Amino acid sequence: MKIELERTAKELGADLFGVADLTVAQDFICKQGGEHLRKFPRAISIGIRLLDAVVDELYRHEDPAVIFTYRGLYNSANSRLDNIALVLAKRIQERGYRAYPIPASQTINVDKNIAAISHKLPANLSGLGWIGKSCLLVTPKFGPRVRFATVLTDEPLETGSPIDAKCNDCRECVDICPVKAFTGVPFDPTEPREARFKAHLCRSYTKRREEKLGEGICGLCVYICPYGRSDKNPPQP
Ligand code: SF4
Ligand code: SF4
């Protein structure tokens, strides 16, 4: 069944597909997204790779032509992911199991900037990548240049295993962030996100950009990660 779902996801445009065992993190998931999520011990993580030609221009992130194009790409990938998640959920339901798609872009708490479940968690647990010092999900092949959606399910699909973080001594995302939102502390599931990421600094920066440029999205931390980037000496903003 897992193979059939993966084939369907990829035919519809997904580049990455993984299945996570959520039982190790269920208390955390329910605390954030609600007790109803405890019914789902598995999650399918699907990812769509962003386009390098668009991401590679983000060093010019003050240019509206660059950031509006990035926003368009971001929205298209999210929309496609939501459609793929719906198709997979319907296939699972047709087999007699329950499936609960989480949209690619969802915020249930604006102050904390969190969704019902972080897509990074199932992507990480399924083995698609690690959580970098940028707090982004970093994949070995495409780096953080990937958007994700999640389908929670009770279908007993075969699961993957997490992979080790490969940030090592790199600090490129920490150094490029214009508001120094990252502390440089590697991901540790026992520590709160605040130990690594001052989300309010990123949020207020993007708000200022929105007022000035009409679009707040920044993306420098996605742009600079050496994983997924082909230019060894990328232009700096
Ligand atoms: S999006 Fe920009 S401001 Fe926000 S954390 Fe990344 S680099 Fe920093
Ligand atoms: S830029 Fe470097 S430190 Fe930041 S997530 Fe990528 S590999 Fe890790």
Q: Which ligand is nearest to the CA of 219?
A: 1
Q: How far apart are CA 235 and CA 16, in angstroms?
A: 28
Which residue's alpha carbon is nearest to atom 5 within ligand 2?
A: 132
Phi/psi at 101 (5° precision): -75, 140
Nearest CA-CA partner of 162 in 132, 126, 137: 126
Instruction: Tell me, in angstroms, the distance from the centre of ligand 2 to residue 172's CA.
Output: 6
Please state the pTM of the whole predicted model. 0.93
Phi/psi at 20 (5° precision): -110, 145
pLDDT tens per residue, range 76-129? 999 999 999 999 999 999 999 999 999 998 666 666 666 678 899 999 999 999
Residues near ligand 2 with C-beta < 6 Å? 132-134, 138, 167, 170-173, 224-227
State the DSSP string of 28-46. HHHHHH-GGGGG--EEEEE
pLDDT tens per residue, range 192-228? 888 999 999 999 999 999 999 999 999 999 999 999 9
pLDDT at position 34 over 90: no
pLDDT tens per residue, range 35-59? 899 999 999 999 999 999 999 999 9
Phi/psi at 147 (5° precision): -105, 150
Instruction: Tell me, in angstroms, the distance from the centre of ligand 1 to residue 13's CA.
Output: 27
Structure tokens at 58: 């983000």
| Atom from ligand 1 closest to the CA of residue 197 | 5
